A = this chain, B = another copy of it.
């Protein structure tokens, strides 16, 4: 049987729900699914690679509560975003450590779908796992989906794990 470990990139992001600075529901779902259904107790046969892509905020607004007017504000934002991203990755790294799966994690900046596909090209994983909010066609027109783009363009097999219906927040575009 296969000699080399199976390398899985899991693309993770933060929750978009205000005041909820945690992994998004769909990122957590994608991770749990990968562990429970694929890795199972065969922990030494898999490597998980967590990629978090931060989106530079073009119009100078932060999602949360700040308006930026000087380069210093951006410096602060970047610093804060960096810390947030690190906390996000820490969550997954801790989970892997408890389970006993070897993992790595890193942060990139840019358009998530483009960066994820670029990292797949660079790292050639066996599998890419992305969470998905499971939006209907009408909602997709407005918010786009990273998972669909990756499914079409990433140069490796892609699984998209849809959020469970009972985990859907009040506004399905939230996550």
Binding site for B on A (CB under 8 A): 1-2, 6, 33, 35-38, 40-42, 45, 99, 126-127, 151, 157-162
**Is B36 within 8 A of A40, CB to CB?**
no
Q: CA–CA, A45 to B38, complex, Å?
A: 9
Q: CA–CA, A37 to B151, complex, Å?
A: 18
**Is B35 within 8 A of A1, CB to CB?**
yes
Cβ of A4 to closest chain B Cβ, rounded Å: 9
Given contacts A151-B151, A157-B159, A159-B157, contact A41 B33 (CB under 8 A): no
**Is A1 within 8 A of B41, CB to CB?**
yes
**Is A37 within 8 A of B1, CB to CB?**
no
Which residues of chain B come closer than 8 Å to A6, judged between CB atoms?
37-38, 40
**Is A40 within 8 A of B37, CB to CB?**
no
Given contacts A6-B40, A127-B37, contact A161 B151 (CB under 8 A): no
**Is B42 within 8 A of A41, CB to CB?**
yes
Given contacts A41-B1, A41-B42, A45-B42, contact A157 B36 (CB under 8 A): no
Cβ of A118 to closest chain B Cβ, rounded Å: 18
Q: CA–CA, A100 to B157, complex, Å?
A: 24
7 CB < 8 A contacts A-B: A6-B37, A6-B38, A127-B159, A157-B159, A157-B161, A158-B159, A158-B160
Which residues of chain B come closer than 8 Å to A151, judged between CB atoms?
151, 160
